[in-house]
Structure 1
Amino acid sequence: MKFEDDSQNLRARLRVIQILAFLMLAVLGVRLYMLQVVKGSYYAERAENQRIRLLPIPAPRGAILDHTGKKILVDSLSIYNVILSREDMKGKKFNDLLEPLSAGLQLEPDYLRTRFQEIESQPAFESIRIKENATTSDIAWVEAHALEFPELRVERQPQRRYPENGTLAHVLGYVGEISPKQLEQPKYKDKGYKPGDIIGQEGIEAVYDDFLRGRDGYRKVVVNSRGHIQDEIETVQPQAGQDLITSIDLDLQLAAEDQLRNSPSKRGVIIVMNPNNGEILALASAPSYDPNLFTQRISSKEGRAEYAALLRDPSTPLYNRAIQGRYPPGSTWKIPMSIAGLQQGAITTDRSTMTCGGGITIGNKFTRCMGNHGTPPLDYAITKSCDGYYYRLALKMGIDGLIEMVKEFELDKPTGVDLPHELFSWTPAYWKPKLEARGEQWKDIRTVYSSIGQDTVAITPLASLRAISSIAVGGKLFVPHLAREFKQVAAIGEPDSNGYHPPRPAHGFDRPNPKILPIEPEHHDLVIKGMWGVVNNGGTAARIKMANFEIAGKTGTAQVVELGKDTGDNKDHAWFVSFAPAYKPEIAVLALIENVGFGGTHAAPAVRAIYDVYYRNTRHEEPPGTLIAKKQ
């Protein structure tokens, strides 16, 4: 009986063992099935990815060229950068790298911490540039410590170069590494941008980034467990960005910047434009800055100190005065006022006289004119810049007439120039509704002040030149622009290959049709006659007269503070806006010199210097006239 019990116990134990063995085999089978069948491709791909790397080959940006397509304004150089691959860190912490990289590559710890924070928020396979323009010592250090820091590598990459340094800074702008905030914006996120990518940050570098930016290539390589390259499987070459031919005439640009640099205040704007199509030939804003700071020095301690100094500078060199500066235009405002007065019937070509009276009394306040011009016709009032004439013309037009003029010349909106951050001008069209919303009534004295470009009028220099240029050509209001043509880029690779980049075709600037202003020929001729007289018939800019190349223009002396306090940085702004030849314009030029006094004394001679260069280059002889343009 006992024997039978032992036999039964043994059989029971064997069954338990069999069941356990079966369960273990079942578990192993399921696990193997999951590994090899269900997730087989996943683990195979993961193993392959641990062995194969795609190393990007950054594409150079397209060059930016002058109007001839021959002078380089911006190009790219090839430099060496130190790259950190997060994928190859093998469990290391960023803090472990702080001290050795700081010492070995001469990098500030705070800078490295910032770089590490930027990449920590990105996918684990991303790489980031930790040192630009690596020296031979930097490269030697990385190579000597390859076993210790396999996550570091040296790559050859393009770096943007601005050969003219501070010249054209506000036009060209600069490039820089995309910021974490930008990476969150749809316009960058949707295009697949990643940390470390270089994009246009300001100027036409930013506006035309999609065209200037190239398409990266890559090297497909085999690496060992330490991340060292063992073999190269494939190379896909990058496709460079498209070269951009601009409308910039470098000779005119250099002359403009030279005039501003040598002006008494060293602050202001000079713009040169073709009034027949809106092309900007020169645009100078002073003071300026060197855009190479942002591509070559910003990652260094000295570079960041230089940038901080620019931000603190009270003269605001980063500020593009041509499109972001709002200034009272002074008497240059009288030119669109004259056209509007004729259009609206406040005056006619036959009966354009208006009393000067040495000024006007509104209520108990007398607002003076700088002279007593009797009862001048319109052309004489322009030539002599008679304020009294325009006080009365504005009252006859009324504030609604002034607002109609503003809208006609689109002075209530940005010009649409192909530069970022353009501001619209402040005019009665902007301020009148705001005053009324506060329960204030628009008064005649404001209309009087507005008639001579003061009080509620503060316009951008580019908006002013655009309006005057439209009058010069009989009523064509063009959109100012800098781009002329994008050059073709050939395809990279074969159409059916993985790394194929299709060709990028050449194309010109897509210029919108100009707005046509209803300027009658007789109105145009009368106003031009007055502007011609400013320079050629004893007007306020007679000193810049050029024989056989007649300039039509208008001076402006814009009051910054009340009379008696206009000294130093509170002195009047000097304006001169013009075009030439007067009756068949080829070129329009504006100068605004901040806080220097009379427009005829400071701004007009600066403009004459531009005309001298233009005449010399187009007529191939020395410019005519009695004035030899000189530095102020």
Structure 2
Amino acid sequence: MNKPIRRLAVFAMALFGVLLLNVTYIQAIQAEDLQTHPFNARQFADRMVQPRGPIIIGGEKVAYSKKIKNDDKYQRHYENGQNYGHVTGAFTPIGATGLEKADNALLNGSDDRLVVRNFLDMLTGKEQQGASLELTIQPKAQQAAIDGLGATGKRGAAVALDPTTGAVLASASLPSYDPSDISSVTNDKERAANFERLEKDESRPMVNRAFSETYFPGSTFKIVTAAAALENGASPDSTQEAPDELTLPQGGTLPNAGGGSCNGGSPDTLSHSIEMSCNTSMANWAISLGEGKMEEQAKKFGFNTPGLKIPTDIATSKYPTGLNGSQLGQTGIGQFDVRATPLQMAMVAGAVANGGDVMKPYLVEEAKAPDLSRIEKGGGETLTSAVSSGTADSLKEMMIGVTEGADASGPNAKIPGMQVAGKTGTAETGEGANSHNWFISFAPADDPQVAVAVVVENGNASGGEVAAPIAKSMMEAVITQ
């Protein structure tokens, strides 16, 4: 064999070796990742021939599988999809979202904890069945959130938590959509047309604003700023300069809402600054504390902590770093580049209500096998300790002042017969755009059962006007459940 032929043979053998290595890598190492990759539609299409477990809210199945007549496939059905679509997500022949995606292995029965059950079903000739998911959502609280947001005629989101356990009691996002519109197994053309319509809708109805959208939190973030001050030696009676308009260190000015005064231009206490939502004093608190202490406190509440799953993915709420003095002052009132999900701000309120501890939010109360044996129980996990119990008590009293004080900015959240702790927020969104309107709260203040966050996009009002009444109705729905 001459030299060129030998070289060609060696090269061909080398290519063959590389091919074998690649095939081995794909089949042995990458197999699981490829199987569960979001672009691999087969993982969902293959499951159309098996019944998925139901998703249950308030004892009622809001998502379930039903066999198609004269077919070997199962159709996923959604009850009251407009109310629960963002919570359940959608299971379709080409993919899944929400809980349908996050807990796909439980719902389709492939979870390792169902192996024994599946083996017994195979021996007896039964179809493999998925687990059922019983959610933490309370229908009355969910309906109160949907109705309240709907009455504004605006886009927005609302979340209610049990502050002692982290259970998500309500999670609403408007505009909404019905997963049934995009889950048809038998009509591909209709399903595709509906999906395209929803995708092109400028209002983005398929986006879960409660979990996946981040907003400027505005003055609701002043609770984080106040927490940082209290944790670093301040008291509710400590003061900062509170001019009608603050000249920022690196240039620019910061006025109070509506150009008003906080304390006649005199230094204002931390407590009163929260009660009437003073911008200039709270900006001064952030500047005096410094970026490090502000970022540390925000992180303790859950900001800058990626990877939160409940089990659906949650967008990361962010407190910016690398700030100059002017930017730092703006972050003290929840502006500049501070971003938060409604869930995150409900966690802030929940931490104050829970004596300083942030509980990890969760959506699934129980997962049960087809024989109703419990596979999984949710709740009770502390995510972080945000503040001391003493600081939490001080913040609670300040937040009661927001609804009851002489200069209260959120009296529309008051509930007869009990004290409500709250904080308003009006977040500027850019020149020429209407502000986002926020309210966070918990009640009863002396024995908290529910913590709430509400945001109304471009409400063109104050948080106390448009968001506080929604929060009130949600809290009432939980307390009177």
TM-score (norm 2): 0.81
Q: Does 1:551 align with 2:438?
A: no
Letter in 2 for 1:62: G
Quick one: structure 1 residues 522 and 428, their matched pair in 2 at CA, closer, same or farther if it must change by over 3 Å? same
Q: Does 1:309 align with 2:197?
A: yes
Could you tell me which residue of structure 2 aligns to residue 27 of structure 1?
A: none
Which of 537, 540, 548 in structure 1 is aligned with 2:405? 537
Could you tell me which residue of structure 2 aligns to residue 493 of structure 1?
A: none
- Deviation for aligned residue 1:342: 1.1
- Deviation for aligned residue 1:585: 0.6
Q: Does 1:423 align with 2:423?
A: no
Q: Given that residues 327 and 336 in structure 2 are in contact (C-alpha distance below 8 angstroms), is that contact kept between their aligned partners in structure 1?
A: yes
- Deviation for aligned residue 1:464: 1.6
Could you tell me which residue of structure 2 aligns to residue 254 of structure 1?
A: 143
What CA distance in whole angstroms lies between the structure 1 residues aligned with 2:215 and 2:48? 47
Letter in 2 for 1:473: N
Q: Does 1:77 align with 2:66?
A: yes
1:168 aligns to what SS in structure 2? helix
- Deviation for aligned residue 1:574: 0.5
What CA distance in whole angstroms lies between the structure 2 residues aligned with 1:586 and 1:510? 18
Could you tell me which residue of structure 2 aligns to residue 151 of structure 1?
A: none
What CA distance in whole angstroms lies between the structure 2 residues aligned with 1:316 and 1:297? 24
Q: Given that residues 242 and 281 in structure 2 are in contact (C-alpha distance below 8 angstroms), is that contact kept between their aligned partners in structure 1?
A: yes
- Deviation for aligned residue 1:412: 0.2
Letter in 1 for 2:181: L
Q: Deviations over 1:258-293 (max 9, x none)?
A: 22222132x100111100010001101111111002
2:99 aligns to what SS in structure 1? helix
1:166 aligns to what SS in structure 2? helix
1:428 aligns to what SS in structure 2? coil
- Deviation for aligned residue 1:57: 10
Q: Given that residues 410 and 468 in structure 2 are in contact (C-alpha distance below 8 angstroms), is that contact kept between their aligned partners in structure 1?
A: yes
Quick one: structure 1 residues 381 and 360, their matched pair in 2 at CA, closer, same or farther if it must change by over 3 Å? same
Which of 344, 363, 369 in structure 1 is aligned with 2:256? 369
- Of 420-429 and 447-456, more deviation after overlay is shown by 420-429
Quick one: structure 1 residues 518 and 574, their matched pair in 2 at CA, closer, same or farther if it must change by over 3 Å? closer
What CA distance in whole angstroms lies between the structure 1 residues aligned with 2:285 and 2:350? 23
What CA distance in whole angstroms lies between the structure 2 residues aligned with 1:556 and 1:415? 26
Q: Does 1:58 align with 2:33?
A: no
Q: Does 1:276 align with 2:192?
A: no
Which of 315, 321, 338 in structure 2 is aligned with 1:457? 338
2:395 aligns to what SS in structure 1? helix
What CA distance in whole angstroms lies between the structure 2 residues aligned with 1:410 and 1:574? 21
Could you tell me which residue of structure 1 aligns to residue 37 of structure 2?
A: none
Could you tell me which residue of structure 2 aligns to residue 444 of structure 1?
A: 325
Could you tell me which residue of structure 2 aligns to residue 299 of structure 1?
A: 187
Could you tell me which residue of structure 1 aligns to residue 351 of structure 2?
A: 470
Q: Given that residues 381 and 530 in structure 1 are in contact (C-alpha distance below 8 angstroms), is that contact kept between their aligned partners in structure 2?
A: no
Q: Deviations over 1:298-345 (max 9, x none)?
A: 834333222111111111111111122111000000001111111122
Q: Does 1:596 align with 2:465?
A: no
What CA distance in whole angstroms lies between the structure 1 residues aligned with 2:125 and 2:94? 24
Q: Which runs of 5+ in 1 are unaligned?
A: 1-55, 81-153, 180-200, 217-233, 433-441, 491-503, 618-632
Q: Given that residues 238 and 269 in structure 2 are in contact (C-alpha distance below 8 angstroms), is that contact kept between their aligned partners in structure 1?
A: yes
Q: Does 1:213 align with 2:102?
A: no
Quick one: structure 1 residues 281 and 415, their matched pair in 2 at CA, closer, same or farther if it must change by over 3 Å? farther
CA RMSD of aligned residues (A): 2.3
What CA distance in whole angstroms lies between the structure 2 residues aligned with 1:78 and 1:211? 19
Letter in 2 for 1:579: F
Letter in 2 for 1:591: V
- Deviation for aligned residue 1:74: 1.3
- Of 288-297 and 241-250, more deviation after overlay is shown by 288-297
Could you tell me which residue of structure 1 aligns to residue 287 of structure 2?
A: 395
Could you tell me which residue of structure 1 aligns to residue 445 of structure 2?
A: 582
What are the equivalent positions in structure 2 for 1:488-499 lying under 5 Å apart?
A: 488-490=369-371
Bigger Cα Rg: 1
What CA distance in whole angstroms lies between the structure 2 residues aligned with 1:530 and 1:595? 27
Letter in 2 for 1:470: A
Letter in 2 for 1:517: S
- Deviation for aligned residue 1:235: 8.2
Letter in 2 for 1:424: T
2:416 aligns to what SS in structure 1? coil
Q: Which has the higher contact order (CA 8 A, sep 6+)?
A: 2
What are the equivalent positions in structure 2 for 1:120-519 lying under 5 Å apart?
A: 154-178=70-94, 201-214=96-109, 236-265=125-154, 267-296=155-184, 299-345=187-233, 347-349=234-236, 351-362=237-248, 363-370=250-257, 371-372=260-261, 373=263, 374-414=266-306, 416-429=308-321, 432=322, 442-490=323-371, 505-511=373-379, 513-517=381-385, 519=387
Q: Given that residues 61 and 241 in structure 1 are in contact (C-alpha distance below 8 angstroms), is that contact kept between their aligned partners in structure 2?
A: yes
Letter in 2 for 1:59: Q
TM-score (norm 1): 0.62
Quick one: structure 1 residues 241 and 302, their matched pair in 2 at CA, closer, same or farther if it must change by over 3 Å? closer
Identity of aligned pairs, percent?
Answer: 29
Q: Which runs of 5+ in 2 are unaligned?
A: 1-46, 115-122
Which of 408, 412, 436 in structure 2 is aligned with 1:573? 436
Task: Tell me how many residue pairs correspond in the alignment.
Answer: 416
What CA distance in whole angstroms lies between the structure 2 residues aligned with 1:297 and 1:487? 26
Could you tell me which residue of structure 2 aligns to residue 17 of structure 1?
A: none
Letter in 2 for 1:602: V
Q: Given that residues 415 and 479 in structure 1 are in contact (C-alpha distance below 8 angstroms), is that contact kept between their aligned partners in structure 2?
A: no
Q: Does 1:613 align with 2:481?
A: no
Quick one: structure 1 residues 304 and 369, their matched pair in 2 at CA, closer, same or farther if it must change by over 3 Å? same
